[in-house]
């Protein structure tokens, strides 16, 4: 079988367009399907054609992520459909990029592919803050490694090297320091922790091994590059001589949320965009996922519905999770948006509509106020005799919506497209910040995250939240906040993440 599609494994470098290779820029401009990681900068997603399908497969250390086998399946499926597929990875595809499994999957079915290098953050992050990895006197060699599994590293050998560049080390900072000190490294050894290098959110903390944990206490250290060695002290001298597009200093004081620490509690795969909005406004953002999204117990019902899409009059999508999982499953069945010809689509919320548009489709109906209740009240046609497909969360979904549609004469076919769970663990940074009462605002974008947050916090010793402002995205979430906390301090006027950001900014400006 001849396969006309092709897969490009592309390194995104630091994420800033200025540091993208010419070849990567060219390929992004021709992409028909973009499958990207969580650490890829939002601005790169604007470089693909408007018609390009964008799929976030969000692999983040320590958090729920798309299984590698499912990513492999997506690459193969879209390639076999004849698409030009770009697998966009942060940094370089072959430096801790897990590319081997994807290439093996492509080779197994003879899918053409090309690997496009990117600039690894291990090399670029120290450069943009003025730290040279080598120096004729201070650093004749350096090692690059990931601290993802610190127990497998030869710390005795690493401690003898002049300069270390460490990726995926934010959560292991304590272990890194302990091991290096244990094997003879001086507690006065300089260390730099560089977060979001080369972007507008860039921050850098410089100290020594003895004090770096105190300096970074209560701060979310993901994603960071850690540089250890005497060369760190050259940054002050060299920064005066090189141009850095984004200042390595903390956020500018004229930003409305400067100095505010905000904890966000969305599902693990949906934190980055909201966090970016808040960080751009100057906030120190901590992430505490209160929802994990994964596959349903069985795909059987959804697969059966996909096989008979022509039988349905309407497809109802009430969340980006519903959109993403429905279309991902559609692709695994060898189909794309064309399979929905003749089926009208209703969505709840602008974000859900945007997710649908990324699959090349426009919704036929979006209710006002961006809430599901308005979907029923303002539905554009009589429902008597209509057959409606509703891909939804497996448990705990919108029972009222189904009941009302059925009462109006529609045949509603509910199928599990994904499942949501309460996580078992809390980020140590988030827990410490809550217990030390350094959090200014906690945000909630759904009633389920409110319940799960309270359950998680209680299971980890609890915290005094009297001084924290509770921020809600809308009335249903606010109702849950009232039940759990007895109050809501900030509520979005427009029930979107942008509206919630604006409400928090307004609160900060009128304090």
What mean pLDDT value characterizes the chain? 87
Q: Give the pLDDT score at 397.
A: 65
Which of 9-18, 154-163, 386-395 comes out lowest in average pLDDT? 9-18
Active site residue 168: yes
Catalytic residue of the set 6, 37, 429, 448? 37
- Quick check: 250 pLDDT over 50? no
Which of 56-60, 147-151, 390-394 comes out lowest in average pLDDT? 56-60
Average pLDDT over residues 345-352: 87
Q: Give the pLDDT score at 251.
A: 35
pLDDT in tens, 121-144: 999 999 988 999 998 888 999 999
Q: Give the pLDDT score at 340.
A: 94
Using a 10 angstrom Cβ sphere, with 0-12 exposed, 13-18 middle and 19 or more buried, the burial of residue 455 is: middle
Q: Give the pLDDT score at 420.
A: 86
Average pLDDT over residues 457-478: 93
DSSP for residue 456: H
Q: Give the pLDDT score at 63.
A: 52
Which of 251-265, 343-357, 490-504 comes out lowest in average pLDDT? 251-265
Q: Are strands 6-11 and 53-56 parallel, antiparallel or unpaired?
A: unpaired
Q: Give the pLDDT score at 31.
A: 92
Average pLDDT over residues 459-468: 93
pLDDT in tens, 284-325: 788 888 988 889 999 999 999 999 999 999 999 988 889 999
The beta-carbon contacts of 408-412 under 8 Å, at least 24 apart in sequence, are 408/376, 408/379, 408/382, 408/383, 408/384, 409/382, 409/383, 409/384, 409/385, 410/383, 410/384, 410/385, 410/386, 411/385, 411/386, 411/387, 412/388
Report residue 469: phi and psi, to 5°. -85, 135
To the question of pTM greater than 0.75 for the whole model, the response is no
Percent of the chain at pLDDT above 90? 53
pLDDT in tens, 141-154: 999 999 989 999 99
Rounded distance between C-alpha atoms, residue 328 and residue 393, angstroms: 15
Higher-pLDDT residue of 482 and 281 is 482
- Quick check: 238 pLDDT over 80? no
Q: Give the pLDDT score at 244.
A: 40
Sheet with strand 53-56: strands edge to edge: 53-56, 33-36, 84-89, 6-11, 113-116
Give the DSSP letter string of 74-132: HHHHHHHTT-EEEEEESB-TTSS--HHHHHHHHHHTT--EEEE----HHHHHHHHTT--
Residue whose token pair is 């409110």: 450
Q: How far is CA 325 from CA 146, 321, 366, 372, in A?
A: 31, 6, 20, 19
Tokens of 340: 């929905």
Which of 196-210, 263-277, 436-450, 463-477 comes out lowest in average pLDDT? 263-277
Q: Give the pLDDT score at 185.
A: 94
Express the helix, strand and coil content of the chain in percent, nearest 5 each: 40, 20, 40
Q: How far is CA 472 from CA 64, 266, 318, 326, 371, in A?
A: 24, 12, 18, 28, 14
Query: CA dihedral in degrees (212, 217, 221, 225; nearest 10)?
Result: -10
Q: Give the pLDDT score at 398.
A: 66
| Spacing of C-alpha 398 from chain mean position | 25
Q: Give the pLDDT score at 410.
A: 93
CATH number of 123-239: 3.30.950.10
pLDDT in tens, 402-452: 888 999 999 999 999 998 888 888 888 788 889 888 899 999 998 989 999
Catalytic residue of the set 168, 276, 336, 440? 168
Kindly indicate the confidence band of residue 372, based on its pLDDT and cuts at 50, 70 and 90: low
- Quick check: 243 pLDDT over 50? no
Q: Give the pLDDT score at 245.
A: 40
Superfamily per CATH, domain 6-119: Tetrapyrrole methylase, N-terminal domain (3.40.1010.10)
Active site residue 59: yes
Give the DSSP letter string of 432-449: HHHHTT---EEEESSHHH
Class of domain 299-418: alpha beta
Torsion sign (Cα): 117, 123, 127, 132: negative
Higher-pLDDT residue of 276 and 365 is 365
Active site residue 152: no
Rounded distance between C-alpha atoms, residue 305 and residue 24, angstroms: 38
Q: Give the pLDDT score at 270.
A: 55
- Quick check: 19 pLDDT over 60? yes
Rounded distance between C-alpha atoms, residue 391 and residue 370, angstroms: 18
Kindly indicate the confidence band of residue 489, based on its pLDDT and cuts at 50, 70 and 90: very high
Same fold, 261-291+423-509 and 299-418: yes
Kindly indicate the confidence band of residue 226, based on its pLDDT and cuts at 50, 70 and 90: very high
Report residue 225: phi and psi, to 5°. -115, 130
CATH fold of 261-291+423-509: Rossmann fold (3.40.50)
Higher-pLDDT residue of 285 and 92 is 92
Catalytic residue of the set 6, 54, 56, 59? 59
Q: Give the pLDDT score at 2.
A: 58
Domain locations in the chain as residue ranges: 6-119, 123-239, 261-291+423-509, 299-418
């Amino acid at each position: 079988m001849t396969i006309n599609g092709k897969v490009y494994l592309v390194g995104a470098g630091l994420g800033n367009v200025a540091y993208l290779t010419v070849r990567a820029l060219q390929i992004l401009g021709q992409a028909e399907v973009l499958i990207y990681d969580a650490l890829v900068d939002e601005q790169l997603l604007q470089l693909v054609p408007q018609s390009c399908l964008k799929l976030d497969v969000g692999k983040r250390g320590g958090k729920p992520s798309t299984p590698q086998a499912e990513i492999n399946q997506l690459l193969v499926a879209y390639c076999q459909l004849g698409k030009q597929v770009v697998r966009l990875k942060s940094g370089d595809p072959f430096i801790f990029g897990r590319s081997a499994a994807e290439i093996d999957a492509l080779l197994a079915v003879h899918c053409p592919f090309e690997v496009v290098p990117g600039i690894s953050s291990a090399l670029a992050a120290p450069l943009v803050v003025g730290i040279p990895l080598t120096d004729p006197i201070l650093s004749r060699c350096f090692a690059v490694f990931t601290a993802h599994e610190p127990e497998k590293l030869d710390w005795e050998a690493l401690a003898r090297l002049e300069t270390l560049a460490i990726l995926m080390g934010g959560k292991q900072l304590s272990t890194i320091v302990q091991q290096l000190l244990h094997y003879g490294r001086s507690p006065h050894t300089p260390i730099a922790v560089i977060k979001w290098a080369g972007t507008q959110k860039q921050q850098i903390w410089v100290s020594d091994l003895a004090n770096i944990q105190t300096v970074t206490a209560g701060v979310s250290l993901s994603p960071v590059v850690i540089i250890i060695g005497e060369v760190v002290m050259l940054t002050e001298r060299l920064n005066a001589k090189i141009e850095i597009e984004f200042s390595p200093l903390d956020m500018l004081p004229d930003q409305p949320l400067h100095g505010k620490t905000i904890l966000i509690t969305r599902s693990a795969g949906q934190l980055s965009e909201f966090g970016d909005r808040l960080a751009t406004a100057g906030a120190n953002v901590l992430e505490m996922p209160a929802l994990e999204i994964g596959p349903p117990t069985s795909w059987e019902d959804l697969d059966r519905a996909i096989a008979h899409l022509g039988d349905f009059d309407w497809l109802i999508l009430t969340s980006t999770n519903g959109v993403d999982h429905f279309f991902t499953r559609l692709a695994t069945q060898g189909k794309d948006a064309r399979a929905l010809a003749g089926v009208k689509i209703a969505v709840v919320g602008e974000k859900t509509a945007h997710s649908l548009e990324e699959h090349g489709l426009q919704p036929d109906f979006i209710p006002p106020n961006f809430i599901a209740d308005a979907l029923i009240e303002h539905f554009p046609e009589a429902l008597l005799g209509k057959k409606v497909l509703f891909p939804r969360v497996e448990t705990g979904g919108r029972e009222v919506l189904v009941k009302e549609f059925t009462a109006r004469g529609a045949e509603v076919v509910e199928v599990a497209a994904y499942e949501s769970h309460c996580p078992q663990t809390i980020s140590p940074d988030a827990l410490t910040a809550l217990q030390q009462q350094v959090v200014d605002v906690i945000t909630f974008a759904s009633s389920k995250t409110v319940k799960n947050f309270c359950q998680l916090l209680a299971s980890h010793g609890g915290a005094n939240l009297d001084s924290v402002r509770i921020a809600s995205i809308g009335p249903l979430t606010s109702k849950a906040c009232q039940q759990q906390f007895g109050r809501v301090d900030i509520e979005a006027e427009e029930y979107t993440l942008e509206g919630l950001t604006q409400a928090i900014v307004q609160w900060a400006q009128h304090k």
